[in-house]
Amino acid sequence: MPVGLAAAFVAYRGMFLAALVYGELVQSAFDLYRLALYKQLRWSPPVRAGDEVARDERLTTYLFRGV
C-alpha cells in the first residue's frame, strides 16, 4: 500500500510539472503568433496596448466556443 501511494504521488508530480511546461509553451506560441492568428481569422488586431487584453480574451472565447 505505501509503495502504491508513493508511485501515485511521483506520477502526479511528474504530470503536474509537465502540464506547467506545456502551458508555458502554449502561452509563448500565442504571444508569438497572435497577430498571424488575427490575420487568418480576418479580425483586426488591437491598436492600443490597453485594448490588447480584452481583445485577446474575446479571441480566446471565439475560438473556444465559436461565438
Residue 43's pLDDT band, with cuts at 50, 70 and 90, is very high
pTM of the model: 0.63
Instruction: Please report, for residues 17, 18, 38, 40, the alpha-carbon distance to residue 63 in angstroms, rounded to integers and kept in the order given.
Output: 26, 24, 11, 12
Over residues 23-50, mean pLDDT: 91
Over residues 37-44, mean pLDDT: 92
Rounded distance between C-alpha atoms, residue 35 and residue 44, angstroms: 9
Please give the mean pLDDT across all residues of the chain. 91
Residue 67's pLDDT band, with cuts at 50, 70 and 90, is low
